[in-house]
């Protein structure tokens, strides 16, 4: 429930000259207000000021009882700003009679992109009906047109029509009028209707002369009992039957009260006596309402905070689960690598034991072993590879020696060229043979690896 607005005075448009058109004068007033710049300008966006002016002008044309003016509005957070409002009455038709409901329509800063705030503005002798379907105790109106406000199709004229339709269906105000003191006790003792109570005298002529002094219509359904239509309160009597008003003017003991600017609410014409509420009960009820509002707002804020925290916890939980899966995969991979390394370690340990045992057995037997006979080839390709590599390196050494000899002049240059040509041809054949042997060895190694892989797969 939104808090009621606080405003300090207002700035209605000055009264137009007698010769001027009121509509043009209001247009000029709004144009001057909305065209101001600087600190005194109204807090509306520049692209919406023209539309605000049009809304207010059409509203005053359709409902002359609603006048645009400015007033100081205090928001719930303590901010104060000067805003436009439409203050006045909305006419409604209730039980074949016309009544005016006082309202204030506030145009907040985001208007017209958001709906305005509408408050019923009861006078001192009016009370807001409780409970009411679309008006809270503070006077804030919440009709469906406001909740379904759509920019730019929604406007103030349609809003006023919607308010009039809802108010006519369920008026939000009723009159609260304390009983008038009687200056003549003897007269009141003989004429009960003067004190504001219904006349119980069965004599129609006596009731017909004293029914309207109380300022309220007589609830007696007998037409001869309700005679005066000139109620001192100044509120219109919705009874259109002229036979109900006959001779009450001669019995009035008070001067007539001038008419008020806001006619009587439809609930004021029913003639019911509204009792004065106990201030303690009113204070208790307001305190309970305020406490409930405070608790509701605190619970809403706490719920939003907890929802945000829960969303954060859920996201953290999802991230932790993902990390758990990654860590599990990493641990499994590391366990697999550990097992493979352990197998390789066992293999290396076994080979080391074999070599050490061979050295212990054959260490003393080997004597004067030729370097060329120290290594035995395991197959023909390996033997051919060693021979080709040795011949290639030997020819490289011979060519290097010939280069030195030519530089020192120990050999003729022509002889050097012939020897180098012969050695280069031989070295080419050895290198070609070496390449073919390496390719054959690579193919054999790939074949053995494929066969081993197939055995492991089986």
Tell me, yes or no, if the pTM score tops 0.85. Answer: no
Maximum Cα interatomic distance, the chain, rounded to a whole number of Å: 170
Cβ atoms of 127 and 86 closer than 8 Å: no
CA–CA dist 116, 235 (Å, integer): 30
Q: Using omega within 30 degrees of 0 as the cis cutoff, is the peptide bond preceding 140 cis?
A: no
- Listed in sequence order, the residues at least 6 apart from 56 whose beta carbon sits closer than 8 Å to its beta carbon are 26, 30, 68, 84, 86, 156
Which CA distances in Å does 453 have to 343, 444, 449?
17, 14, 6
pLDDT of residue 183: 53
**Dihedral sign, Cα of residue 361, residue 363, residue 367, residue 373:** positive
Give the C-alpha separation, 34 to 26, whole Å: 12
What's the pLDDT score for residue 381?
A: 86
Taking the C-alpha atoms of residue 269 and residue 272, their distance in angstroms, rounded to an integer, is 8
What span, in angstroms and rounded, lies between the C-alpha atoms of 256 and 234?
Answer: 8
Give dist(CA 110, CA 48) in Å, integer.
Answer: 9
- Please state the φ and ψ torsions of residue 130, each to the nearest 5 degrees: -130, 135
Cβ-contact 194, 188 below 8 angstroms = yes
Q: Give the model's pLDDT for residue 200.
A: 43
The reported pLDDT for the residue numbered 292 is 92
Cα separation of the two ends of the chain: 78
Give bridge partners of residue 99 from the DSSP assignment: 92
Cα distance between residue 178 and residue 321, in whole Å: 73
Cis bond leading into 232, ω under 30°? no
Are the C-beta atoms of 248 and 210 separated by less than 8 Å?
yes
Q: Do 81 and 102 form a contact (C-beta atoms < 8 A)?
A: no
Report the distance separating Cα 63 and Cα 86, nearest Å. 10
Helix (H, G, I), strand (E, B) or coil at 273: coil
Sign for the CA dihedral angle at 159, 164, 169, 171 comes to positive
Is there a contact between 237 and 219 (Cβ–Cβ < 8 Å)?
A: no
| Residue whose pair of structure tokens reads 């212990």 in the numeric block | 360
User: Would you give per-residue pLDDT tens digits along the chain (458 residues)?
Assistant: 444 554 445 555 655 555 456 778 888 888 888 888 878 888 898 888 889 999 999 999 999 999 999 999 988 888 888 999 999 999 998 888 888 999 999 999 999 899 999 999 888 888 888 888 889 988 999 999 999 999 888 999 999 999 999 999 889 888 876 655 555 544 434 444 333 344 444 443 333 333 333 334 343 433 333 333 333 333 444 343 433 333 334 333 333 334 444 444 444 444 444 456 677 888 888 889 899 989 999 998 999 999 889 999 999 999 999 999 999 999 999 999 999 999 999 999 999 999 998 888 877 766 666 666 666 777 888 888 888 999 999 999 999 999 999 999 888 999 999 999 999 999 999 999 999 998 988 888 888 888 887 777 76
State the pLDDT at residue 372: 67
88 DSSP β-pair partners = 66, 103
> Which stretches does DSSP call E strand in 171-282?
173-175
Q: What is the pLDDT of residue 219?
A: 38
pLDDT of residue 344: 94
Q: What is the pLDDT of residue 223?
A: 35
Q: What is the pLDDT of residue 276?
A: 65
Which pLDDT score, from 0 to 100, does residue 291 have? 92
Q: Are 192 and 207 in contact (CB under 8 A)?
A: no
The answer to whether the beta carbons of residues 453 and 443 sit under 8 Å apart is no
- Residue 73, both tokens: 């509005």
């Amino acid at each position: 429930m939104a808090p009621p607005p606080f405003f300090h005075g207002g700035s209605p448009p000055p009264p137009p000259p007698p010769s001027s058109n009121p509509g043009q004068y209001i247009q000029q007033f709004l144009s001057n207000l909305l065209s101001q710049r600087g600190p005194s300008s109204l807090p509306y966006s520049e692209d919406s000021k023209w539309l605000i002016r049009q809304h207010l002008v059409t509203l005053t044309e359709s409902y002359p009882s609603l006048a645009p003016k400015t007033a100081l509005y205090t928001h719930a957070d303590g901010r104060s700003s000067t805003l436009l409002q439409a203050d006045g009455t909305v006419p409604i038709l209730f039980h074949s009679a016309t009544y005016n409901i006082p309202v204030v329509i506030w145009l907040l800063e985001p208007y017209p992109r958001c709906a305005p705030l509408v408050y019923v503005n009861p006078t001192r002798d009016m009370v807001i009906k409780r409970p009411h379907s679309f008006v809270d105790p503070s006077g804030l109106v919440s009709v469906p047109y406001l909740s379904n406000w759509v920019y730019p199709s929604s406007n103030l004229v349609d809003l006023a029509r919607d308010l009039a339709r809802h108010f006519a269906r369920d008026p939000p105000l009723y009159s609260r009028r304390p009983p008038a003191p009687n200056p003549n006790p003897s007269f009141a003792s003989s004429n009960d209707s003067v004190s504001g109570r219904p006349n119980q005298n069965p004599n129609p002529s006596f009731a017909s002369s004293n029914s309207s002094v109380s300022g309220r219509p007589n609830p007696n359904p007998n037409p001869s009992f309700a005679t005066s239509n000139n109620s001192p309160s100044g509120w219109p009597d919705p009874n259109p039957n002229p036979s109900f008003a006959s001779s009450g003017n001669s019995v009035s003991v008070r001067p007539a009260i001038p008419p008020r600017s806001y006619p009587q609410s439809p609930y004021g014409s029913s003639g019911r006596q509204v009792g004065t509420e106990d201030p303690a009960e009113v204070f208790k009820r307001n305190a309970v309402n305020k406490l409930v509002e405070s608790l509701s707002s605190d619970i809403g804020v706490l719920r939003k905070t907890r929802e945000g925290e829960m969303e954060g916890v859920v996201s953290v939980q999802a991230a932790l689960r993902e990390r758990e899966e990654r860590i599990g995969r990493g641990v499994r991979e590391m366990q697999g690598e550990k097992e493979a390394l352990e197998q390789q370690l066992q293999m290396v340990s076994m080979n080391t034991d074999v070599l050490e045992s061979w050295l212990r057995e054959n260490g003393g037997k080997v004597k004067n072993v030729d370097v060329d006979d120290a290594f035995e080839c395991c197959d023909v390709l390996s033997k051919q590879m060693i021979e080709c590599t040795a011949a290639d390196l030997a020819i490289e050494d011979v060519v290097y020696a010939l280069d030195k000899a030519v530089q020192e002049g120990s050999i003729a240059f022509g002889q050097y060229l012939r020897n180098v040509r012969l050695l280069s041809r031989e070295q080419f054949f050895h290198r070609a043979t070496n390449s073919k042997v390496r390719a054959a060895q690579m193919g054999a190694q790939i074949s053995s690896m494929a066969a081993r892989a197939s055995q492991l797969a089986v």
